[in-house]
Amino acid sequence: MAQPIVEVSNLRKTYGDKVAVDGVSFTVQPGEIFGILGPNGAGKTTTVETLAGLRHADGGSVTVLGHDTQRDPAAVKDLLGVQLQEATLHDKITVGEVLQLFAGFYSRPADPDELLALLDLTEHTDKQFGRLSGGQKQRLSIALALVGNPEIAILDELTTGLDPQARRSTWELVERVRATGVTILLVTHFMDEAERLCDRLVVIDAGRVVAEGTPTGLIDGLDDERTVVVRFGADDAGRARERLDRLAAEHPDVARVEELDGTPGEIAVSGTPRVLFAVVPALAEADLVPEDVRTVTRTLEDVFLAVTGRTYAPQEPEPELTTEGVRS
């Protein structure tokens, strides 16, 4: 592997009594999309803003492109693009003006027009910030993180508050940006986003790294239980449940049978990877024809459950009340 471009080691940050980041370590390789995933309040923003030199660490070390950003934050400003989770602009500044303005701060800026095209903002060049939609604001925010032609871009919760359509197009953008050679540090509380975009990631919970690896590696690393879900109409549901319960008692590949809450008639059968082969002949023999059969794909949510013992139920972050004032 190449020399890491970001190295965080044993990072600690407290706010009064509250330990926000409690010994986080990871490294990021050049050219990758590296994810920092975790539920609300896990310490993701604190971690990346500390590594960018925007907050003071209470312990540990952070090195970005060979610079200690705690000792010398100015050293990386020209090389690091940051999209902050909570930051807006003057309502009356236009898209074009703000990009030109920010371009002027850097020694080797990107071409603002190219960036506008890359982020599908060209037609909004003369629009004022206050009149942009949520998705357009988010894209402008990414553009501002990239306008300095950075080696590394930190993107913090860039799809929060976007509709599914806008989220998907933002994901494509992130991939387009990575294709230009920028290393991306992606902060998110969305499991699907991390799974879709990240080459590698850390899962952070309550200020600690609870899992680290590639999305598929983490998922494959789970136990090898598989689940088949079959759905029956009201007439057959009772009989099917009985048959499957019997199967669980008899068959070595079938471990459990559970009725799922929510959808009536849906029965989940779990067991070894061969569980499907056990379920299908049993149902065929009893002439129980399911209305629907699906195998459950496992996701990072199962990884989270496995490492924390909690289900992952992220709420949308509350609008910040008055905490900004005390951020340091």
Q: Which of 204, 265, 237 is nearest to 47 (CA)?
A: 204
Angle between the 95-103 and 134-146 helix axes, to the nearest 10 degrees? 20
CB nearer other proteins, residue 88 or residue 133: 88
Q: Which is nearer to other proteins, 310 or 327 (CB)?
A: 327
Q: Is 105 in the site for other proteins (CB under 8 A)?
A: yes
Q: Which of 18, 131, 274, 327 binds other proteins (CB under 8 A)?
A: 327
Residue 144 CB, shortest distance to other proteins, in Å, is 8
SS (H, E, C) 171-191: HHHHHHHHHCCCEEEEEECCH
Binding site for ligand ATP (CB under 6 A): 15, 18, 20, 38, 40-46, 85, 157, 189, 317, 323, 326-327
Mark the segment that binds other proteins (CB under 8 A) among 9-17, 114-122, 176-184, 219-227: 176-184
- How many CB atoms lie under 10 A from the CB of residue 57? 21
Quick check: 159 and 167 in contact, CB under 8 A?
yes
CB of 325 to ligand ATP, least distance (A): 8
Q: What's the rounded Cα separation, in Å, for the pair 152 and 82?
A: 8
Nearest by Cα to 143 from 188, 176, 190: 176
Q: How far is the CB of 14 from Mg ion (least distance, A)?
A: 17
C-alpha to C-alpha distances, 225 to 187, 203, 255, 306, nearest whole angstrom: 30, 22, 9, 12
Phi-psi region of 234 (alpha: psi -120 to 50; beta: other; left: phi over 0): alpha
CB of 145 to ligand ATP, least distance (A): 17
Which residues of this chain interact with Mg ion, rule CB under 5 A? 45, 85
CB under 8 A: which stretch of 73-81, 116-124, 278-286, 298-306 binds other proteins?
A: 73-81
Smallest distance, Å, CB 119 to other proteins? 16
Largest separation between any pair of C-alpha atoms in the chain: 74
Which of 44, 298 has the CB closer to other proteins?
Answer: 44
Identify which of residues 23 and 96 has a Cβ nearer to ligand ATP in the complex: 23
Helix and strand element counts for the chain (H, E): 10, 14
Nearer to ligand ATP, 297 or 315 (CB): 315
Where along the sequence are the contacts to other proteins (CB under 8 A)?
52, 54, 74-75, 77-82, 84, 86-90, 92-93, 97-98, 100-102, 104-108, 144, 148-151, 180-182, 322, 324-325, 327-328
